[in-house]
Structure 1
Amino acid sequence: MMYRPFENRLNVHLAEHQLYRAQWTILYYLANNESATLVELSHYMSVEKPTVTRTINRLEELGLVEHVPGKDKREKRMQLSAAGQKVYKDVRVTIDQYEQEILEGITEQEQIEAIRIMGEIRNNITK
């Protein structure tokens, strides 16, 4: 009951930056982990590797991510480009404002408890 309204409004905010949810998820992960392989991204997003490959290819076309050499030549490791870092920072401001809106009236302690509870639920689902 919360997921669809959340996603719909998030997509409206992301559209202001010409991004989709999957693209934002990859930008977010790379911004917080410096670089990642396509396999790491597919595990993080819980999707198949071909799905990540298509999204990464589009982000490369937009100049937001770039390939970096890995230890293994077969490994495709990606990181944010300079343009990707700028876009991430711009979108982050929009997302932070959205998060503030949807958390209005909820104390910091309640937010911490909700995060803990959702983490436990996720762990139970993925067992």
Structure 2
Amino acid sequence: MTIEQDFFNQYRLMYRPFINQLNVQLEPYQLYSSQWAVLRFLNDKGPHSFVDIANFMSIEKPSVTKLVHKLVELGYVETMAGKDKREKLVHLTMHGEELVQEIKSHLNPFFEQALAGVPKQDIDIATQVLARICMNINQ
């Protein structure tokens, strides 16, 4: 196996168990990792269109529509008209903003445990490497 194959194999071996455990952590909030990603995106970047969310998450717009509708149903987000009346913007409700902060605090021990024994410098390097790989793939 080449070093490249080994790298992506290790990534694959980490990814599914991570998502499965993240979903367990999010269960008390009636959320899945993809819904949490939308909430985090809106919290970090502010109101955005369905298309912006789809592009950020690299998924199709109908999938975003389904995610957003569930988050609206839970009272975590609302939609509003954008500058162009055909465009809808999604934004966090006050309840959604409070929830994001609560979940961030709840997830900290999970993330710390997942990264236990990994030096901060290695985490920084891995973050940069994954960002570069993402950029290479999306070119």
Q: TM over 0.5: same fold?
A: yes
Matches within 5 A, 1:1-127: 1-127=13-139
SS of the equivalent of 1:74 reads: coil
TM-score (norm 1): 0.95
Give a deviation string over 1:54-83, Cα, whole Å, max 9, x none. Answer: 110111111110123321111110100011
Percent of aligned pairs with the same amino acid: 37
Structure 1 distance, partners of 2:137, 2:86, is 33
* Partner amino acid, structure 1, of 2:49: T
SS of the equivalent of 2:29 reads: coil
Q: CA deviation at 1:22?
A: 1.4
* Partner amino acid, structure 1, of 2:106: T
TM-score (norm 2): 0.87
Structure 2 distance, partners of 1:72, 1:8, is 39
Structure 2 distance, partners of 1:47, 1:27, is 15
> Which structure has the larger Rg over C-alpha atoms?
2
Bigger helix share: 2
How well do the aligned residues superpose, as a CA RMSD in angstroms? 1.0
Q: CA deviation at 1:113?
A: 0.6
Paired positions, count: 127
